[in-house]
Structure 1
Amino acid sequence: MRMSRILSCASGYSTGILVFSIGLIVFGASSSFLQIRFSNTTQEFQIPTRVPKKGPEYPPIFSYWISGTKGDKDRILRLLKAVYHPRNQYLLNLDASSSYFERRRLALSVESEKIFQAFGNVNVVGRSQAVDQIGSSALAAMLHAAALLLQINRDWDWFITLSASDYPLISQDDLLHAFNSLPRDMNFIDYTNKTGWKERQRINQIVIDPSLYFQENTPIFHASETRETPDAFRIFGGSPWSILSRAFMEYCVHGWDNLPRKLLMYFSNVEYPLESYFHTVLCNSDEFQNTTLNNDLRFILSDTSPHVEPHFLNTSYYERMVRSKAAFARPFQDDDPVLQKVDEDILRRRSDGLVLGSWCLDIGMNQSVKANIGNLTSKEDSCSGWDNIDAINPGPDGVKLKAFVSKLAAERRLQSNPCNQQ
């Protein structure tokens, strides 16, 4: 069987082809239609003439990378629907521990959604890559995802990484509203240069990640040698979860000076490089060190001891999550009841449906989601049509988050070099 999707190129959108049959993403070509080919059947849907408008007077555009492993197909689809908005771009990725058939079913599930077809802003990586979250293969996967999203469409403002065990605590209308007035070069990342045990145990210890050169996920191994702490740059560390600007991701991918490449070579032999690489690049770059906001907008409960995984979140943490001013939380166990509570009380999302915003005709720009959610009957996506995708209708959560991130930005402006304050 062969399945391919040709994404149309309307004004403001780049063009791409997603070919899943041989497990590759290939970009190029164009068409005035979005074509779904499965076996010998072809369905055509007219691409909407409305595409996201860019500029300071319009909401930003987020570019999401949602990754998972074997058995995560349904979790990724649920997360995708919880964070979907027609303005944004989405790249879904299952690593090498997943089977070809699971990746294929993920792509087919995306193709079956009418709204995803119409806006052509959801792509699935067909070829799997081996990834060990402890090793540098995880860093390579993130840089690869950023490169693909830049190739698919450069008209986005922030790069957001999510795993299948993450979930939003705010709607996309609220998140777009909160970021709307921010300078679009800001980087939300939790960091410090007081790494302590991380510097001794992780940075100086040399590790090898076989997932870089084997097709299947393979555990890292430690070399017997250690190395001294470098003096050519300062090492920073923190949370591996972040919201990074397009300008910074282009800098890391294209590296027009030698710093990103030099640090990539160094961190390829470091344990947990996602907890240090981007932090260190940001704070050692003259161009980007003043663009940091020391907050990753995540709700995560973890111990301070090294190598301890965060606590799984459940209903006992619900009130703390709601009060946290975070945009996302993690990790959740598959289908935990607290996710249903978030869907119902925060996102107003119906089972297997999308989070409705003012772009949906069933809601309307001047009507509330809460008032309309009970009147919707569509089992597929709870949205029978779409309107102005540049309009957003934030609720109280969006207003609160906007005040919080604006305060973070104002505090940063009072510091000549935020990295030196950590």
Structure 2
Amino acid sequence: METGGGKKKKKWFLPLVLSLLLSTLLVFVSVFTSSSSYSSQLYKTQVKNEVPVFVESKLRASAPSSDPVPRLAYLISGSMGDGESLKRTLKALYHPRNQYAVHLDLEASAEERLELANFVRDQPVFAKMGNVRMVVRANLVTYRGPTMVTNTLHAAAILLKEGGDWDWFINLSASDYPLVTQDDLLHTLSTIPRSLNFIEHTSDIGWKEYQRAKPVIIDPGLYSLQKSDVFWVSEKRSVPTAYKLFTGSAWMILSRPFIDFCLWGWDNLPRIVLMYYANFLSSPEGYFHTVICNAEEFRNTTVNHDLHFISWDNPPKQHPHFLTNDDYQRMVDSNAPFARKFGRNEPVLDKISSDLLGCNADGFVPGGWLRNQGNSNVTLPDHIITNTTELRPGPGAERLKRLINGLLAAEDFHAKQCS
């Protein structure tokens, strides 16, 4: 009896299990289909009516300006005792189309910084055009540490926020000086793509791997109000594998789109690299180079030149030679728009001003915007021509054109990009 009952139970048990499974499957399909349909409709509604989930998707590099004459944004920085040199460099670089940020670091006295602030405020031309600003909240800059990079980023952020439209960012120091007029420079740059970045760089870091990349340094400027040299940590670190290190000149001309990328960092690369270079000796010679050459959208925009004449030892030491009258002809023959490093009140600056810029030691450089001929006593806004797009390029434009055309037309131009 028990055996027969077990057979009857098996006959109805199997159909029951199958029917339960089938019912469960039908319910699951029904719920999933209706849920998917509802989610699809909800998603379409959200796409139409709400902002994207990720803010970064709305961040993009600025489009190049369509203005036929470009605009430049300058950072001119200095330290204790550089106030007068900074003023002279600023006037030699001045043009109403451009934007300027000047910075004296915290090593300079409050009196020296206040004197510079008063100079910027009281110059009638600056007041009329409103394109020169002092970084009032000064930073402490240790030139072998990352604080020089953070100061550069700080100035670039100020110029993005307050400077309106501009096309290239140029970082200079009080010991730099121009070898061409701004009319020469603007005229020449108006003929090339505004996406280009002039940044001397190489991935062959050589001895720097062991003396700069692997050691760990601390920059007191990150936490102290007193300037002192960097100090070393006993531990070493390995070279990064997530990105490739590059090195080069600390002086560069960077495009507006790349500066946008460095400050917004919508794929986080600039921030990651900045954190690494916070403990890197002489980080200004590597930070921007590493970022630009590891960013797919910018690595093909580089021109491997810093547009400077600099006289180095061979092999190079920490600092270049101070330039004198003996270097004058080599400066001119380089066709570069800038030169460094100059001592304070160096006589060759007077020769450059008179022979190359057409002004005296304390004057604005004449051009299409200025009616006078470099007279230092004429600073009134009445001498500004309203149409600042009028340029009067001179011999300096021809020299600079030869340099840039030669760089862009070189057979190894692409081979030198981030190599």
Which of 290-299 and 302-311 deviates more? 302-311
Q: Which of these residues, 288, 293, 300, is aligned with residue 310 of structure 2?
A: 300
Q: Give 1:393's aligned residue.
A: 392
The alpha-carbon deviation at position 166 of structure 1 amounts to 0.6
> Tell me, what secondary structure is at the counterpart of 2:299?
coil
The alpha-carbon deviation at position 407 of structure 1 amounts to 3.3
Question: Identical aligned pairs, as a percentage?
Answer: 45
Q: Which of these residues, 276, 285, 289, is aligned with residue 275 of structure 1?
A: 285
The alpha-carbon deviation at position 307 of structure 1 amounts to 4.4
Give per-residue Cα distances to partners, 1:91-150, cap 9 Å, x unaligned.
010001011121111011122211111101000111221110000111111111111111
Q: Which of these residues, 173, 180, 193, is aligned with residue 163 of structure 1?
A: 173
Q: Give 1:43's aligned residue.
A: none
- 1:189 aligned to 2:205? no
Q: Give 1:253's aligned residue.
A: 263
Which of 395-404 and 159-168 deviates more? 395-404
Q: Give 1:209's aligned residue.
A: 219
> Tell me, what secondary structure is at the counterpart of 1:290?
helix
- Aligned runs of 1:259-338 on 2, under 5 Å? 259-305=269-315, 307-338=317-348
Structure 2 portions without partners, runs of 5+: 1-63
Contact kept in structure 2, 1:97 and 1:130, CA below 8 Å: yes
Contact kept in structure 2, 1:325 and 1:404, CA below 8 Å: yes
The structure where strand makes up a greater share of residues is: 1
TM-score, normalization by structure 1: 0.81
Contact kept in structure 2, 1:130 and 1:211, CA below 8 Å: yes
- Aligned runs of 1:10-29 on 2, under 5 Å? none
In 1, distance between residues paired with 2:262 and 2:300?
A: 16
Contact kept in structure 1, 2:106 and 2:225, CA below 8 Å: yes
Q: Give 2:52's aligned residue.
A: none
Q: Give 1:403's aligned residue.
A: 402
In 1, distance between residues paired with 2:155 and 2:104?
A: 12
Judged with a 3 Å threshold, the aligned counterparts in structure 2 of structure 1 residues 69 and 57 are, in CA distance, closer, same or farther, namely closer
The alpha-carbon deviation at position 220 of structure 1 amounts to 0.8
Contact kept in structure 2, 1:354 and 1:382, CA below 8 Å: no
Q: Which of these residues, 351, 357, 366, is aligned with residue 341 of structure 1?
A: 351
The alpha-carbon deviation at position 219 of structure 1 amounts to 1.6
Judged with a 3 Å threshold, the aligned counterparts in structure 2 of structure 1 residues 79 and 348 are, in CA distance, closer, same or farther, namely same
| Superposition misfits of 4+ residues, deviation over 6 angstroms | none
Which of 208-217 and 71-80 deviates more? 208-217
Please tell me the residue identity of whatever aligns with 2:319: E
Give per-residue Cα distances to partners, 1:341-383, cap 9 Å, x unaligned.
0011000112321001111233xxxxxxxxx55xx5x614387
Contact kept in structure 2, 1:412 and 1:418, CA below 8 Å: no
The alpha-carbon deviation at position 336 of structure 1 amounts to 0.6
TM-score, normalization by structure 2: 0.81
Judged with a 3 Å threshold, the aligned counterparts in structure 2 of structure 1 residues 83 and 289 are, in CA distance, closer, same or farther, namely same
Structure 1 portions without partners, runs of 5+: 1-53, 363-371
Q: Give 1:381's aligned residue.
A: 379
The alpha-carbon deviation at position 233 of structure 1 amounts to 1.1
In 1, distance between residues paired with 2:284 and 2:95?
A: 27
Contact kept in structure 2, 1:188 and 1:295, CA below 8 Å: yes
Give per-residue Cα distances to partners, 1:281-338, cap 9 Å, x unaligned.
1111101000000000000011244643100000000000000011110000000100
> Tell me, what secondary structure is at the counterpart of 2:252?
strand
Please tell me the residue identity of whatever aligns with 1:214: S
Q: Which of these residues, 155, 163, 179, is aligned with residue 189 of structure 2?
A: 179
The alpha-carbon deviation at position 154 of structure 1 amounts to 3.6
> Tell me, what secondary structure is at the counterpart of 1:241?
coil
Larger Rg: 2
> Tell me, what secondary structure is at the counterpart of 2:250?
strand
The alpha-carbon deviation at position 248 of structure 1 amounts to 0.5
Please tell me the residue identity of whatever aligns with 1:158: W
Q: Give 2:148's aligned residue.
A: 138
Judged with a 3 Å threshold, the aligned counterparts in structure 2 of structure 1 residues 355 and 72 are, in CA distance, closer, same or farther, namely same
Contact kept in structure 2, 1:186 and 1:292, CA below 8 Å: yes
- 1:86 aligned to 2:84? no
Contact kept in structure 2, 1:136 and 1:267, CA below 8 Å: yes
Please tell me the residue identity of whatever aligns with 2:331: M
> Tell me, what secondary structure is at the counterpart of 2:201?
strand
Number of equivalences: 355
> Tell me, what secondary structure is at the counterpart of 1:240?
coil
Judged with a 3 Å threshold, the aligned counterparts in structure 2 of structure 1 residues 117 and 96 are, in CA distance, closer, same or farther, namely same
Judged with a 3 Å threshold, the aligned counterparts in structure 2 of structure 1 residues 93 and 412 are, in CA distance, closer, same or farther, namely farther
In 2, distance between residues paired with 1:283 and 1:412?
A: 20
- 1:147 aligned to 2:157? yes
Q: Give 2:132's aligned residue.
A: 122
The structure where helix makes up a greater share of residues is: 2
Aligned-CA RMSD value: 1.8
Contact kept in structure 2, 1:187 and 1:292, CA below 8 Å: yes
> Tell me, what secondary structure is at the counterpart of 2:289?
helix
